[in-house]
Structure 1
Amino acid sequence: MYHLNSSNALEYNHLTYPSLQKRWQTQPPQGELTGLSASLDSAIVGFAISERLNPQQAEIISLFVLPEYRNQGIGTKLLAYLEQELAQQGCVEIILSYSTSTLTNVALEPLLQKLHWQPPQINLVLGKTATEKIAQAPWLNKYPLPPAFEVFPWLDAGLSLPLSVEAHRLEPLNSLGLRYRGEVIGWVLTHRVAPDTIRYTTFSIAQAFEKRGRGVWLLASAIRRQVDSGVPYLTGSVSYRYPRLLKFVERHLTPYLTGVGEVRQTSKLINPTLESREN
């Protein structure tokens, strides 16, 4: 077992999936880190890491086995031992979020089922594309705004950000707000996640204007600015908690995406007796 921190954990980055180094660029660790390794002939062949979110809950943030040692039950044993360790520490529940891929379909999900985790639930739909592809969407040049509406650069207005949006790497090119008669009624906020890629982080429009195409025009305006700038790639995600926006994505964006995926989440109670006592 390893007691890790944000510095010494990176020594094992080559044994992490997803990459901790990449994760911590946008989501630094907040809680205690616990790591378990699997070794063969004194060489580490697998590694599992959890982060304590609060006294009762932890998250599995990495589970990795070297390709040549897979399909031998090593990942299953790693996760099972990590569950035991967290239970001994007084943890009640473990959660795990992951982006779907061929690897998660054939390796991770059967492993979770074997260890009696809850069936995974879809949290987010992920999409990516290139500007040359999205530029073909006919709705980019529809829905003109009446004079009472004004699109403005978010950073130029000096407004505070929504609580869930980080200021770091906020993209000035196409982070936009929308005003109606001087009042802010919507925004699309983006981040430069790589020199050639802009992530569309959050999109919101006041309910009274949802059915009038104002939000579509705002999103189209942000995309047009990126198309004109030459930044070639864009990514984004939509939560299943927003069915109207998800429906728009499926209808108007999906035909112009080069890749679509999902983020799923699952959980497991590892100390139900402790939970019942505290309740």
Structure 2
Amino acid sequence: MMGAFINEAIQSILNQTLKPDEIIVVDDGSEDDTKAVLKTIKEDTVTVMFQSNTGGASSARNVGISQAETDYILTLDADDIFEPTFMEKALQIMESDNNIAVVGCYYRGFIGNTIDAKIEKPLGGKLSDFLVKNNGLGCSLFRKKSWELVSGYDENMLYGYEDWEFWINILKEGQSMYIIEEPLFKYRTKKNSRDKNAIKYHDYELREYIFNKHKNVYLQNFESFAKHMLYQNSRLRNDKTKLLNATEVKIGKAILLPFRVIKSIFKK
């Protein structure tokens, strides 16, 4: 399946207004059609690496980044796309401020050639903004030395949220994530994506893992963490109340409908 999209993803990087020094593609045990497509790539700047699917997304990223000889790293999944100006704008921001560790952007979802009109707007920010939820974009620009400092992506996180944990790991050094307020990234939406499965089946265990791994960070930022949790709880309760009220109205209308029909018949 990914074979149908990989060329489009790579081309979105080759089309950048600021050309990359190298593109490293890590095939993590893909299906045969993807391997066949990758073997046809002849670009001088593109290196393709093949490995068995034993380590998951974190392992694949770590393998690729370890081979990179550049100061900056931009990650991209096989079925997603960057707009042509992202790298140029992101690098300019990164080089202008050493306190910025990561640069992401707004993004849109798409299926086939249909692009969602809704623009997703991650907030970025400092460590305190990432304690309760991932306020960043998984595919973003960062320094290789940041990756080295935190020993890369956590390869124990096989079911997802590895990018969220990676941002926490980087930002706990006191830096921040900057978000370009333009939709310069397109995320392919799928019925059964890894992200959706993580939320549906592994959300609690992944959050617990992140909390336990960074417990000192959470304790040091307890007040901020508690406020975020209280706010989230309040929103959930309000949403639940709205849903219950809407359901009650629908049930009420359904019950009244037969009486209105009967009343209408008697009028006749």
- TM-score in terms of structure 1 length: 0.23
- TM-score in terms of structure 2 length: 0.23
User: Which one has the bigger strand percentage?
Assistant: 1
User: Which one has the bigger helix percentage?
Assistant: 2
Q: Larger relative contact order (C-alpha < 8 A, sep ≥ 6)?
A: 1
